[in-house]
């Protein structure tokens, strides 16, 4: 088995069988509670740290190749994915420490979710202000 496949196998073994890693994953995933429903799947995936993501979209593929440049030096590549019905969002991180990779992937995904939430809340605030203005009510 190649060294590349050994990294992935070792990471999978750590995630699936190491109780300390499993406990850490569960602990980290609790931060997603405000953003998920009971039907949402929360997945922590080990990926090949040397693998390159390819996309059908040429612009996106070249962007991902740029992002993957120079990351092959890391031992762990972890992705955190939230999936609800046909929709999913994900983030990944690289590190030589599996705990750091898990935490960084979680933080990257939380940043995306918070950004989306802030955009939605700002849109709702604007709509409320427009509605109040059209009803001739003072806006504070």
Domain boundaries, the chain: 3-134
User: Within the chain, what is the greatest distance between any pair of CA atoms?
Assistant: 72
Residue 136: what pLDDT? 65
The answer, as to whether pTM is greater than 0.85, is: no
Outline where 18-97 has alpha helix (H): 19-29, 58-68
Q: Model confidence at 58, in pLDDT bands (50, 70, 90)?
A: very low
Q: Which long-range contacts (CB under 8 A, 24 or more apart) does 52-59 make?
A: none
| Residue 121, Cβ density class (10 Å: 0-12 exposed, 13-18 middle, ≥19 buried) | exposed
Kindly provide the residue ranges of all beta strands, DSSP E only, lying in the chain, ordered along the sequence. 41-47, 76-84, 87-95
Q: How many CA atoms lie within 13 A of 111 on its CB side?
A: 8
Q: Please, what CATH class does the domain formed by 3-134 belong to?
A: alpha beta
Contact 77, 94 (CB under 8 A): yes
| Residues β-bridged to residue 45 | 79
The CA-based angle 129-131-137, given to 5 degrees, is 75
Write the pLDDT tens digit of every residue in 102-135: 999 999 999 999 998 888 878 777 777 777 777 7
């Amino acid at each position: 088995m190649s060294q590349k496949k050994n990294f992935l196998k070792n990471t999978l073994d750590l995630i699936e069988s190491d109780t300390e890693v499993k406990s850490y994953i569960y602990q980290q995933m609790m931060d997603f509670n405000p953003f998920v429903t009971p039907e949402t799947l929360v997945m922590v995936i080990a990926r090949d740290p040397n693998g390159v993501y390819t996309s059908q979209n040429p612009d996106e593929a070249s962007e991902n190749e740029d992002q993957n440049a120079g990351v092959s030096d890391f031992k762990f590549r972890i992705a955190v994915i939230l999936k609800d019905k046909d929709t999913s969002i994900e983030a990944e991180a690289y590190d030589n420490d599996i705990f750091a990779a898990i935490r960084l992937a979680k933080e990257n995904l939380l940043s995306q979710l918070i950004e989306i939430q802030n955009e939605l809340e700002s849109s709702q605030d604007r709509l409320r202000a427009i509605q109040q203005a059209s009803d001739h009510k003072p806006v504070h």
